[in-house]
Every structure is written in structure tokens, then in C-alpha cells.
Amino acid sequence: MITGRFAPSPSGKMHLGNLFSFLLAWCAVRSAGGEMVLRMEDLDPQRTSPEYAAMIRRDLLRFGLDWDREVPCQSTRTAAYDAAFARLEAMGLLYPCYCSRSQVHAASAPHLGQSEFVYSGTCRDLSPEQRSAKKRPPAWRLRVPDEEWSVHDGLQGDYCELLSRDCGDFVLRRADGVYAYQLAVVVDDADNGVTQVVRGRDLLASTPRQMYLFSLLGRPAPEYYHVPLLLAPDGRRLSKRDGDLDLEALLTRFSPEEIIGALAHAAGLIEKNEAISASELAAEFDWNKVKKEDICLTL
């Protein structure tokens, strides 16, 4: 049986882009008679809140996107992340990093437009004396090998990275003790029994390093489908700033079924842009129809 997941970050309200990925994730699971798990990715206490989590649950249900179980949110899972961290540390793969930029964004998934940089390795080979001379608490990075890691994505095909060149040693725990998205998502997908991950195409670039972590931790990796991003009719990425994505505003003009119909039509799942419920759409769902390239949306 397929187990899929919704893994929203309750760092803001759900927007049209999130809805699009969640709709495809839900249809893929329901059309195969699988189960859906909801996991709140609230790693960063400063950026997430239970109020946003409650709004996201409400919005999913408004669109008929239900789940079979909600698993513990990430803020309660520190013991599981500690255990994975200790295992990697015992393998000699972690090192403390004192560079100030190591903090940036590590607790949230790196979406497009957020610059990710390949770490130059400044702190990789510090001596014990050099480490003890540092005054600030360190972040912890995973040493990546000079190896290619690839993923066969169900929609995008094969995607491969030479970890040392394309990704670099990445942060697993920030200096403030908050675990990084990359570690937490792997531990959680494994512990939650997730077998199918459907998420935005901008996270494809995080997948080789997640595959590497699954293998280090001796856990099976799920299958992946990275779905297109939504673009405005003029080709811009839809952005929160423009209000293009605001579900609240859209729901004053359209019904949930009209919005689902527009998304399903844009994805290539239905021929006409007409109202349809999530469960009717699940009956039509077929990965072969889903477009791979980013999608211009007209509502």
C-alpha cells in the first residue's frame, strides 16, 4: 500500500502553490487506495506557529483533502533526530562549523529563489586546537563524499548530483540546536512509513542529499514525484507578494471545486477548465497526464 504525506510548514497560510502540490499528492494516494499522512514541519520555533497549523488543516479539508493519520509534528521529534545525529557522528561524518552563514534557513526547505550556496569547506578540517579557540557555538555539517547520487523521479526522470561539487557539506543542526530540514525530513519520512513523496519541483535539488542520508541511516527511501511550479499568465512565478496565491481572496470569487478544476486543467488532468471535486478528480488521476514543466495558471 502507498503511504503519501502532506508536509506543510506552518510558517504562513496555505497558498495556491501549496494547494496544487497537495492536490496531486492526495489524488495520487487516493487513486491507488493508499493512506495519507499529515505532518506539520514546525522545526523552527521562530518561524512557525500552531495557529498557522490549524489554518492549514482547515484549508486542506475545505478542498476535500483529508488524511488518515496526523503524525507527531517535528517540534516534538527531537529525540528521533538526536538518535540519527548520534549515528552519523559515530560514523565520523559530522563536523562543527563556526561560519556565521551556517544558520541561514537550514530549518526550512530550500525553495527556489532562496539562494543556496555550496559550502567552501572552511571548517572541514580544523584541528582540535582551532576548534577550541572558537568562541561561538557551532552548527554541525555532514561531510559529503565525492560521489554522484541520483534519484529516479516518477515525473522528472533521472536527476543526479555530484554531492561534493553540486551540494557541498550541508548543515544538519544549527548552532541554536534546531535540526535542519534535510535531516528531519528523512528521519520522519522513514519513521512515518512514507513510501511516496509528491512535492514541488524546487525540492528536486534536495533529493540526492536526502537519498544519501537514507542510505547512511540504513532506511529505505520513498519514491519521488516532483510536480511543476505555478506561473502567472505572463510567466512570472506566482508570488505571495502579488496576492496571486491568496486562497482566502480566491475563495471569495470561486468555489473550492472551481479552484480544483482550474488547477487540474492546468496540470493536464482534465480537458476543460470546469468545477470538479477532489474525489472526482482522484478517479481521473493518471501520472502520465501530469505536465512536467512549470505551468501558467489562469483562474
Q: Which residues would be at the binding site for ligand GLU (CB under 6 A)?
A: 7-9, 41, 109, 185, 199, 203
Q: Distances in Å between the alpha carbon of 76 and those of 58, 79, 81, 246?
A: 22, 8, 10, 30
Min CB(181)–ligand GLU separation in Å: 7
Min CB(228)–ligand GLU separation in Å: 15
Min CB(192)–ligand GLU separation in Å: 12
β-strand partners of 96: 140
Calpha distance 163→209 (Å, rounded): 7
Q: What is the CA radius of gyration of the chain?
A: 20
Nearer to ligand GLU, 114 or 122 (CB): 114
Nearer to ligand GLU, 77 or 199 (CB): 199
Min CB(189)–ligand GLU separation in Å: 8
Min CB(253)–ligand GLU separation in Å: 26
Nearer to ligand GLU, 114 or 255 (CB): 114
Nearer to ligand GLU, 44 or 169 (CB): 44
Cell output for 132:
577550541
Nearer to ligand GLU, 22 or 98 (CB): 22
Nearer to ligand GLU, 38 or 163 (CB): 38
Min CB(38)–ligand GLU separation in Å: 12
- Report the DSSP pairing between strands 139-142 and 94-97: antiparallel
Min CB(202)–ligand GLU separation in Å: 9
Min CB(203)–ligand GLU separation in Å: 6
Nearer to ligand GLU, 40 or 123 (CB): 40
Nearer to ligand GLU, 8 or 256 (CB): 8
Picking from 174, 59, 17, the residue whose alpha carbon sits closest to that of residue 108 is 174
**What is the sign, positive or negative, of the torsion defined by CA atoms of 273, 251, 284, 237?**
positive
**What is the sign, positive or negative, of the torsion defined by CA atoms of 180, 184, 187, 190?**
negative
